[in-house]
Amino acid sequence: MNKPLQFPLAVRAVMIDLDGTLLNTAPDLAEAANRMLAEMHRPLVPIDVVMTYIGNGVDRLIKRVLTGEMYAEPDEALFAQAKPIYERHYLAGVSLHSRPFPGVVEGLEALKKAGYHLACITNKAEKFTLPLLRDTGLHDYFELILSGDSLPRTKPDPLPLLHACEKFGVTPGEMLLIGDSQNDAQAARAAGCHIFCVPYGYNHGEPVDKLDLDRVVQSVFEASQLIVKA
């Protein structure tokens, strides 16, 4: 049993997940998926189903859309056909409907004002991540943006979190990750970082309160009120 934490937590840096934590990207991800399926003359997928597919990068999302299963592998030729179609449609509408969740901008403002190092860490490829953050006005809050193709491994591997710690010159115990999924919780625990999760994101349809977390927070702003600058 973990020793109960004392709040506010003393940290020096905060990392925040993108899809399902900062931004509601599901509408644009689903629209790109269904435009891909329509172009390939395949059945469309409801947005609530696509929401359960989000969280392991675009390749896995495409595979889930094609197979209807979380970890099945589609025919290689089918996937090779589908991927450029999906990427074309998603790049064209990457921020069409994606918006910050309530409390995100207020939380980022509070964290910035308090002087924390801020990083955005996502499994989304950089060619989608950067325009999405710029279009939604969030890009300039972050000193460091790590995308799914920035490093050799992605969440739930701890590498991106440890890379951020090194970049900011902090120990893992001085870092907080705010996320929305098991990917985030596993990465944080493996790295030795603190972890808060929001309940409104894309945890494959499962409630986050079942995960190994330090706290469930209702918003990024609430998270900002539960920490203090170390």
Q: Which residues are catalytic?
A: 17
Say how many CA atoms lie within 13 Å of 33 toward its Cβ: 28
Report the SS3 class of residue 146.
strand
Give the total residue count for the chain: 230
Determine if residue 105 is left, alpha or beta; phi over 0 gives left, psi from -120 to 50 gives alpha, anything else beta: alpha
CB 117 within 8 A of CB 13: yes
Of the candidates 161, 166, 160, which has an alpha carbon nearest to the alpha carbon of residue 176?
161
Return the C-alpha torsion angle 198, 203, 208, 210, nearest 10.
-170
With the C-alpha atoms ordered 83, 120, 24, 72, is the resulting torsion angle positive or negative? Answer: positive
